[in-house]
Amino acid sequence: MLSINNLCASVEDKDILKGLSLDIKPGEVHAIMGPNGAGKSTLGSVLAGREAFSVTDGSVAFADKDLLELDVEERAREGLFLAFQYPVEIPGVSNMEFLKASVDAVRKHQGKPELSSVEFMKLARETSKKVKLDQAFLKRGVNEGFSGGEKKRNEILQMMLLEPKLCILDETDSGLDIDALQTVADGVNAMRSAERSFIVVTHYQRLLDYIVPDFVHVLADGKIVKSGDKSLAKELEAKGYSWLEGEVA
């Protein structure tokens, strides 16, 4: 599914990722934890293709393609999805229209028939119920004036509509109340399948009680410094990151 090899990336001449390697097979859920500023969001940005981040070394293969060669929108159409830590507000662009444009683009690329406006609106309504996002949010501007939790639900809504191969969730649990966390986790769990993989970035072991990962990695100073199974998350919760310092160096 995804194979990251010795990835090095910088932003504004500052090295952030320093030789990161990670292998993800279809159907797997990988949790990534790590201190603030370690480069977790940067990894998401680099995988999604954000221009400001330049890859200085390494390679990324995604479903047999050289991911780094693809444009941002091509990556999305190939099935890569990044749920943002801080989703962007786009006033004036209706959420419904945005969702349709997005689903149209992805389906077209994948050779699936286009949904009619009516079909699409039905689908969007049903899906928004699943993430407990009120209909009214479909009519509003993209994320415009949404609360933190509503923005995250909107991200999950998009993920469900786009049915990606690989979902990267960047701190989707931050700022969520218990009910919202359950909703988001239910959404993710409903989408788990033998063909779909997840990278779940989080600071909290709590989320991993709901979304049980196959692997847990610690990302520190631009590298994966430790990998383990779900018990590693519990250990981190108890001990923090300092005991890993030796491995960071």
Ligand X SMILES: Nc1ncnc2c1ncn2[C@@H]1O[C@H](COP(=O)(O)OP(=O)(O)OP(=O)(O)O)[C@@H](O)[C@H]1O
- Residue 154 sits in the site that holds ligand X (CB under 6 A): no
Residue in the structure block whose two tokens are 């520190």: 220
81-100 residues near other proteins, rule: CB under 8 A? 81-82, 84, 87-94, 96-98, 100
Using the contact rule CB under 5 A, the part of the chain among 35-43, 71-79, 106-114, 191-199 near Mg ion is: 35-43
Q: How far apart are CA 34 and CA 16, in angstroms?
A: 14
End-to-end CA distance of the chain: 30
Q: Are 188 and 198 in contact (CB under 8 A)?
A: yes
Phi, psi dihedral angles at 160 (to 5 degrees)? -65, -35
Q: How far apart are CA 50 and CA 38, in angstroms?
A: 18
Number of residue whose CB is nearest Mg ion: 41
Q: How far apart are CA 226 and CA 223, in angstroms?
A: 9
Q: How far apart are CA 192 and CA 206, in angstroms?
A: 19
Q: Which is nearer to Mg ion, 41 or 205 (CB)?
A: 41
Convert residues 129-168 into a mask of x (bound to other proteins by CB under 8 A) and - (unbound): ----------x-xx---------------x---x------
CB of 133 to other proteins, least distance (A): 15
Q: Which is nearer to ligand X, 82 or 99 (CB)?
A: 82
37-66 residues near ligand X, rule: CB under 6 A? 37-42, 52
Helix (H) or strand (E) holding 237: helix 230-239
Enumerate binding residues for ligand X (CB under 6 A): 11-12, 14, 16, 34, 36-42, 52, 85
Enumerate binding residues for Mg ion (CB under 5 A): 40-41, 85
